[in-house]
Structure 1
Amino acid sequence: MSFIPRIIVALVVALIVGFGFMYYDKKTGAEWVVSPEQIAAGNGSVETRPGTVAVRAIRSEIADVLPYKWAISGILVGGLAFFMLRRRNA
């Protein structure tokens, strides 16, 4: 495969993987320990562990790292796709 189509395919694959991880993390609530939806459903408070009540949403410790996870995984898989589509000599 020539160079330009390899670049295009690698970019598309990288975007699909990066946005896929983002969608999965947003869908599973990886950003929150206690989400705003849980607070609303619990009528203003949620028991996080025995004897502890949360009245505000609590962000996860890994919430700030998630965008790096999405970007790095997209770049790595895009690079792998670019490498795998190279023309091999017989």
Structure 2
Amino acid sequence: MSNMRNLVASTVVALFVGGGAMAYDKWKGAEWVVSPEQIAEAKAGGNAGYQSAPGTVAVRPIRSEIADVLPFKWLLYGVAAGALTFVSLRKKKAA
């Protein structure tokens, strides 16, 4: 029964850490260099597009170079946290 408890606890920790990493990246906007919201705000303000640097105007959303790797990062964080939890919960052998 102890192994089942350890597996459940490890799964819960893995989901929590992976979901937390995903939420943090979504909150920071790691998927976009120029997001659709930024372009919409700029167009609502009367500009042609979002000015990311002096002299450069983006009229389309630009995805980040690491956007395709983010799900693997979240998965890796979750698996690492789950494995660490599973190893730390096992019974210690008496010396």
Q: Same fold (TM over 0.5)?
A: yes
The Cα shift of 1:28 comes to 1.0
In structure 2, what is the equivalent of residue 57 of structure 1? 61
1:1-90 equivalences under 5 Å are 2-43=2-43, 44-90=48-94
Q: Distance in 2 between matches of 1:24 and 1:70?
A: 10
Q: Distance in 2 between matches of 1:49 and 1:61?
A: 18
Task: Name the TM-score, length of structure 1 as normaliser.
Answer: 0.95
Matched to 2:71, the amino acid is P
Highest Rg: 1 or 2? 2
Give RMSD over aligned pairs: 1.1
Q: Distance in 2 between matches of 1:69 and 1:58?
A: 20
Consecutive unaligned residues in structure 1, runs of 5 or more: none
The Cα shift of 1:51 comes to 1.1
Percent of counterpart pairs with the same letter?
Answer: 57
Task: Name the TM-score, length of structure 2 as normaliser.
Answer: 0.91
The Cα shift of 1:77 comes to 0.6
The Cα shift of 1:34 comes to 0.4
The Cα shift of 1:50 comes to 1.6
Count residues in correspondence.
Answer: 90
